[in-house]
Amino acid sequence: MHTTKNEKRLKVAILGGGPAGLGLAIELARLTFIDWELYEKKPQISETGGGLSLQPQIWKLLEHNGAAAHLTANDYFRSAEGHLEQRRNGRSGELLTIKYNPKDVPLDRRSCRLARSKLQSALLKNVDQTHINLSKKLVRVEHLPDNRVRISFEDGFVDEVDLLVAADGLRSVIRNFSFPNNTPHYNGQTVYRTIVSKSEVRKIDGIPWAPIFWKHVSGLYVYTCPLGDDDFEVTLRIRRPQEGAEPPSWGRPFDLHTLLHKCEDFCPQIRQILNLAAKGETQEFALFSGPRLKRIVSHGNIAFIGDASHPLLGNFGSGASFALEDVYTLTKIIGWALPRGRPLSDALDMFDSIRSPHYERLYKVLDNFTSIKATLRAEGLPVDEEIAERVKRISQASVSWMYYYEIDKVVDGYLRGLEKCENEARPTSKVVKQVMMGLGVTVR
């Protein structure tokens, strides 16, 4: 931190203009002792195709950062029946499970689905865009002797900051620098996402107006869901081993016709909707995932938020929520700790002690799913039975706490615990752990 006019100011660089980076830009602007700049490698703040689910826990955060005010009912699809999702046999169309929003979730906080660009532009409206620096691709991170970080960009531009926040997504360059042994790898699956017109989909008999996974075996599925306006999402996930070749990057245009022959086993309405999607503009997304980071801070001056903090593949359909939970935690902690004279490295440790156990719990859920799927594969069931068993067993093992997680209560409880320690001059960790246990939350 450096001193200006007797006030200690913190210079922050945010790397990445996705939901995590934009959310952080909004919140940091509210902290008067912070100077921030956001760097994004693309020439504009944009989001590549497809849809995104907003689960119940994100709404409070979108209200908190003001983005909810820029989303209207036309922007998204929310199931009138309260469906969270359906799972069907993709070959026969048979309905296998339906998950609902719990009844006590208020209507305006129930899950919904929208084009990813809608969330992006709702967030962007609340960001002071004079601090956004576009076409700035980070290529190098260095530590300076005075505890600052130097960041260098492809175009030769260099900045030096007190705090670097990595919001640069699943294949974070900053994570490679801080944790070189934790590199996400292509997991052999690729998704193809197309947005088609609702009026065209209505001509196909048997496509229910709901979020639906049309499941097959071996990771193969088609996902269909109405979005806002005239948009309807069609996503195909398919196994595509690359055999040594570098898999395609995120969001490349793709000719879906070339894969239709691999989908001939799907039921007629799914074949029709894939044909429709093949006439539209499809984008290809190779899926990457990696091991959990043991800590989501490094060197006392780098924090990881959003996908950069947890290379998780989008499994819970909640990545934007997790990103905004990280943002809420980081900014609340910094806003509490630094004005009290606590060092930045302490604040980052506090952030880590709240968020790392959260990600640890999420990884455990996935580990459980992985072992269920491996057991099932070993049983060698006939295809339709395997589809039904897979849906049944995963559904039985599913947990939903992450969709109703109230990060504000967790962070506020944590800070109350710290204040109690200060007042009673008691050791911090013990009191905080007690307060958090009362909230049913594990912290380190």
Of the candidate spans 226-234, 302-310, 338-346, 405-413, the one that interacts with ligand FAD by CB under 6 A turns out to be: 302-310
Select from 167, 333, 338, 441 the one that contacts ligand FAD (CB under 6 A).
167
Of the candidate spans 94-102, 165-173, 260-268, 290-298, the one that interacts with ligand FAD by CB under 6 A turns out to be: 165-173
Select from 319, 335, 413, 417 the one that contacts ligand FAD (CB under 6 A).
319
Select from 15, 26, 286, 333 the one that contacts ligand FAD (CB under 6 A).
15
Of the candidate spans 304-312, 353-361, 370-378, 397-405, the one that interacts with ligand FAD by CB under 6 A turns out to be: 304-312
- Asked if 307 interacts with ligand FAD (CB under 6 A), we say yes
Distance CA 371, CA 357 (A): 21
* Contacts of ligand FAD in 321-350 (CB under 6 A): 321, 323
Q: What is the DSSP string of 333-380?
A: HHHHHGGGT--HHHHHHHHHHHHHHHHHHHHHHHHHHHHHHHHHHHHT
- Asked if 173 interacts with ligand FAD (CB under 6 A), we say yes
Interface mask toward ligand FAD for 30-59; x: CB under 6 A = ---------xxxx---------xx------
- Hey, what amino acid is at 104? D
Helix/strand/coil for 75: helix
* CA-based nearest residue to 109, from 147, 61, 179, 66: 61
Minimum gap (Å) between residue 384 Cβ and ligand FAD: 25
- Asked if 18 interacts with ligand FAD (CB under 6 A), we say yes
Q: Which residue is associated with the tokens 């009191």?
A: 431
Find residue 333's DSSP bridge partners: none
Minimum gap (Å) between residue 313 Cβ and ligand FAD: 6
- Asked if 138 interacts with ligand FAD (CB under 6 A), we say yes
Q: Which residues contact 137 (CB under 8 A, 6 or more apart)?
A: 41, 153, 154, 155
Q: Encoding tokens for residue 318?
A: 């909640």
Give the residue with the Cβ less far from ligand FAD, 228 or 413.
228
Select from 99, 137, 361, 433 the one that contacts ligand FAD (CB under 6 A).
137
Of the candidate spans 30-38, 89-97, 130-138, 254-262, the one that interacts with ligand FAD by CB under 6 A turns out to be: 130-138
- Asked if 20 interacts with ligand FAD (CB under 6 A), we say yes
- Asked if 21 interacts with ligand FAD (CB under 6 A), we say yes
Minimum gap (Å) between residue 113 Cβ and ligand FAD: 7
- Asked if 417 interacts with ligand FAD (CB under 6 A), we say no
* Contacts of ligand FAD in 249-288 (CB under 6 A): 285, 287
Interface mask toward ligand FAD for 214-233; x: CB under 6 A = --------------------
Minimum gap (Å) between residue 65 Cβ and ligand FAD: 14
Of the candidate spans 83-91, 134-142, 377-385, 387-395, the one that interacts with ligand FAD by CB under 6 A turns out to be: 134-142
Q: What angle do CA 141, 133, 37 make, to 5 degrees?
A: 65
Select from 56, 169, 311, 335 the one that contacts ligand FAD (CB under 6 A).
169
Q: Encoding tokens for residue 69?
A: 């005010």
Select from 10, 13, 19, 26 the one that contacts ligand FAD (CB under 6 A).
19
Q: Which residues contact 432 (CB under 8 A, 6 or more apart)?
A: 414, 417, 418, 421, 443
DSSP 120: H
Q: Are 61 and 325 in contact (CB under 8 A)?
A: yes
* CA-based nearest residue to 305, from 346, 354, 345: 354
Q: What angle do CA 182, 337, 436 make, to 5 degrees?
A: 75
Number of Cβ atoms within 10 Å of the Cβ of 442: 14
Exposure string of 67-89, with b = 16+ CB inside 10 Å and e = fewer, is: bbebbeeebbbbbeebbbbbbbb
- Asked if 16 interacts with ligand FAD (CB under 6 A), we say yes
DSSP 67: G
Contacts to ligand FAD by CB under 6 A: 15-21, 39-42, 52-53, 136-138, 167-170, 173, 191, 285, 287, 306-308, 313-314, 317-321, 323
